[in-house]
Amino acid sequence: MLHRFDSSRAEFSPYGFTCEVWTPARMPRPDRHNEIEVNLLRSGSLTYLLGGRRTTLSAGRLAVFWAAIPHQVVDFDGQDPYFVVTVPLSGFLSVGLELSVVNRVLKGELLIDSVQDACDELKFQQWERELRESDPRSERAVRLEVQTRLLRLARVVSKLRAARYPEPTLSRADRLACYIARNYNQPLTSQRIAEANGLHANYAMNLFRRAFGTTMSTFITQHRISHAQRLLVTTDDPIVSVAFGAGFQSLSRFNEAFKAACNCSPREYRREYRGTVHHKSGSAGASGR
């Protein structure tokens, strides 16, 4: 079964643990969900606007990113379907990856395997087929194999410096998104964003909505929530410090926006996820990883 992005789906609606085959298509708006995405293209390329940065994935290279970061397919080359695995954040944190690799993902970095693995396409085909069987035994086997593949990827990327992406030629709308991605933790208004990019505020707002299917205000909030999620999972910072560090101007506004996006309070979110990553990082340190 081939899948396409459903623009009517609620923001932060979970996909769960899946392996699906998707048809290349431009997305009318960014998506966000609290899972790790693993993408594998059979051929051609796929271009994401991920956290305000335009990034192109090539065929045959495993790519991993945290889908709570606003992400949107804005271009593609080729018609061949591609594979998408989604792993709930709790499952990703329990794999036992080095904390440095986990932090790179939760900070919004796109991790790309530096080499092609000839077995990947066959494994993704098998995972997609077995998960369709709805057999708990098959699902457990797939989960273990996905975890193993992530461990192998982490071993490769941990040896490499964080990728330094060249700055591509950006459209006006992309420049607006990039400016927001770099400055969301500062006080921002549509006027300030527009002026920084040499545009009139009304024109900038209309341009942004046409390009990304959402408002600049919503896009800013998405980035701030993602930043807060990372801090809640990886630090012991007080909730109020998380709120202001992410760019919110008041604790009440932060709590309101966070609950609307994540269906839980910041404290509940931290309680669910932080223990997993802290436990695993402690175990890694004890074993000399």
Bridge partners of 20, per DSSP, are 84
Q: What is the pLDDT of residues 178-224, one digit of tens each?
A: 788 888 989 999 999 999 999 999 999 999 988 777 899 988 998 89
Residue 163 is encoded by which pair of tokens? 């990728």
What does the H/E/C string look like for 35-87?
A: EEEEEEECCCEEEEEECCEEEEEECCCCEEEECCCCEEEEEEECCCCEEEEEE
Q: What is the pLDDT of residues 38-82, one digit of tens each?
A: 999 999 999 998 877 888 999 999 999 999 888 999 999 999 999
Query: Dihedrals φ, ψ of 146, to 5°?
Result: -65, -40
In CATH terms, the fold of domain 172-274 is: Arc Repressor Mutant, subunit A (1.10.10)
* In the predicted structure, residue 233 carries a pLDDT above the cut 90: no
* In the predicted structure, residue 279 carries a pLDDT above the cut 50: no
pLDDT band at 109 (very low <50, low <70, confident <90, very high): confident
Q: What is the pLDDT of residues 112-162, one digit of tens each?
A: 998 889 899 999 999 999 999 988 899 999 999 999 999 999 988 877 654
Q: Which residues contact residue 31 at a Cβ distance below 8 angstroms, ignoring those fewer than 6 apart?
A: 5, 9, 11, 67, 70, 71, 72
**Integer CA distances (angstroms), 256 to 108, 162, 189, 251, 262, in order:** 23, 34, 20, 9, 10
CATH of domain 2-157: 2.60.120.280
Quick one: pLDDT at residue 249? 93
Structural contact between residues 157 and 68, judged by C-beta atoms closer than 8 angstroms? no
Query: Dihedrals φ, ψ of 56, to 5°?
Result: -110, 130
Quick one: pLDDT at residue 91? 87
**Number of neighbours of residue 222 by Cβ within 10 angstroms:** 23
pLDDT band at 280 (very low <50, low <70, confident <90, very high): very low
DSSP string, 167-188: -----HHHHHHHHHHHHTTS--
Domain boundaries, the chain: 2-157, 172-274
Secondary structure letter of residue 243 according to DSSP: H
